Amino acid sequence: MQALRFSNHPIGIGISLAVFALGIGLPLMWDLPGHWRLIGALQNSGHAVLFFAMAWCLAWRNIHAYAVLIGLCVLGVGIEGVQYFIGKDCDIHDVLLDNLGAVSGVLAFKAYARRTLNLAIVPLGLMAVAFYIPCFIALCYLQQWRNFPTLVTFDEVGRNYLIDHHEGSEYALTTLPGEFTQQAAPANRTQVLKLRCPAQNWPGVALIDLAPNWLGFNFLQMDVWLADKTPIQLGLALRGLHNQSDHHDVSQHFPLQPGYNRVRWPLKDIAGAATDANLLTSIDKIIIFCMPEHTRMGDSELYLGAIKLLD
């Protein structure tokens, strides 16, 4: 009874939260090994698992549900605040995942205590929501593996989570405009990547977490449709898994004419220009960008089709 009274006292609540935070919560402030987007997404979703466990344990100690939820909400905000001051990302989405896990933990414990399966459906559903992004990314990896040597198709479920902005561009997954569909190969008649490049900087996108080993192939190929009436220069750059600098390993630019263009980059040229002799066995990302040119006064609009390796 003494332990029960202590667990309901504000000091007991504070000690319990501190123990959980120090023992389990603080490791979330450091990166897990690996550089893949799936690892990062799983780490973020892990916030919900952590706070689920803490909420369950606190509810098991007979602490009132409102006290548990308020305390864990304050803890989640505090963790993000500490990360801000030590130079790590401070993300409101992590706080939302924390609260989702806390609510799920309280509800799951109530379902357990009352021995009712119906109440357990809600926390299970909430926890499933916490993991929908890692599930989509994992599904995209599976599709990439099945499609290889096609590196990227923009029909892949979860593909939008494996695209990064580059220098202020705008992008969206969409269908190819009607005026271009007659010029498209069958594989490119569904979803493509629409890229809008402002005239300044080097705007584009980075396609990440690709199949890393390109040995045995001769060309990197992609289809591009330029909606502008003025030719532009398209830049392609590659970055290896072991590149720790701020620079690309190798880059090349290609002239684009209005309408349909087939861009083909010989891999022997890549191997000859790269500073890393093993680059073709350790590709991390492709950066696609519009070159800055004095003739390009406004935004350029491009549509990118499947990117593949050819023998």
The per-residue pLDDT for range 64-117, each reduced to its tens digit, is 888 888 888 888 888 777 777 776 666 788 888 888 989 988 888 888 888 777
Q: How many domains does the chain have?
A: 2
The per-residue pLDDT for range 263-305, each reduced to its tens digit, is 999 999 998 888 778 889 989 899 999 887 766 667 889 999 9
Element (H or E) spanning 103, and its range? helix 92-114
pLDDT above 60 for 30 = no
Range of the domain at 48: 2-130
**Helix, strand, coil: what percent of the chain each, to 5?**
50, 25, 30
Say what the pTM is: 0.76
Residues 89 and 237 in one domain: no
What is the pLDDT of the chain when averaged over all its residues? 81
Element (H or E) spanning 125, and its range? helix 117-130
> What is the rounded average pLDDT of the residues 210-223?
92
Residues 226 and 182 in one domain: yes
Give 19's pLDDT tier (boundaries 50, 70, 90). low
Q: Residue 137 falls within a domain, yes or no?
A: no
- Tell me what percent of the residues of the chain surpass a pLDDT of 90: 23
pLDDT computed for residue 67 by the predictor: 86
Residues 181 and 296 in one domain: yes
Q: Tally the C-alpha atoms within 13 A of residue 145's C-alpha that lie toward its C-beta.
A: 6
Residues 44 and 160 in one domain: no
Residues 258 and 161 in one domain: yes
The per-residue pLDDT for range 136-173, each reduced to its tens digit, is 988 888 888 889 999 999 989 989 999 987 777 889 99
CA distance 66 to 7: 14
Q: Residue 143 falls within a domain, yes or no?
A: no
Are the C-beta atoms of 181 and 259 separated by less than 8 Å?
no
- Pure H helices in 86-212: 92-114, 117-130, 132-147
Q: Residue 140 falls within a domain, yes or no?
A: no
Element (H or E) spanning 251, and its range? strand 250-256
Q: Tally the C-alpha atoms within 13 A of residue 122's C-alpha that lie toward its C-beta.
A: 15
Give 247's pLDDT tier (boundaries 50, 70, 90). confident
